[in-house]
Amino acid sequence: MNSAAGDDQAMFGRDAALASALLGAGLPAAAQQHLDQAAALYHRAELAEQHLCEALALAPDHAAVLIGLYRFFFYKGRLHEALELACQCLIKAARDNNLPLDWHCVHATDAAFSDFGAALPRFYLFSLKAYAYLQMRLGDLDEAHAAIGKLLELDPSDKINAKLLLGVWERREYGDDQ
């Protein structure tokens, strides 16, 4: 295996393990085994994706599985599919935080967004950030800008670095995305 594939595999496995540790309570052992196999086979995309789909079948609403599948699509450059998973993560995070499903209707006082140690509100913020970034990458700059604005409203101290994303948006919006 080349070192780039090894680095990707290590990152994929580490991300899945982190997601499982933060949001992984209740993940069936068989689903975890499929996530582990997906990480081990990351360099063989078809097999890795099969394992991720098996994990999804076993735990369809589990954050660790959704994050694993999102990251797989993202790192494989399958941005439309990654956006679908970011939307699923955003809906899951909204439900888990008792927030409106429409992110436009979420307010800073609706959850402990300012507490970076609060895993569920942080999961919501990072899901919205992924959504904003992917909208930008896929060319919907207006939607990306609205989501970035919501991130800055929910996280005014900018613990998740939405201002960095805003800078990228500004460069793209004004034609200086080099």
Residues 20, 64 contacting (CB under 8 angstroms): yes
pTM of the predicted protein model:
0.82
Segment 8-30 mean pLDDT:
57
In this prediction, residue 18 has a pLDDT band, given cuts at 50, 70 and 90, of: very low
Rounded mean pLDDT of the chain?
87
- DSSP, collapsed to helix, strand or coil, labels residue 111 as coil
* Radius of gyration (C-alpha) of the chain in whole angstroms: 16
- pLDDT tens sequence across 133-157: 999 999 999 999 999 999 999 999 9
Q: For residue range 36-45, what is the model confidence (pLDDT) as tens digits?
A: 999 999 999 9
Distance, in Å, from the CA atom of 68 to the CA atom of 71, rounded to the nearest integer, reads 5
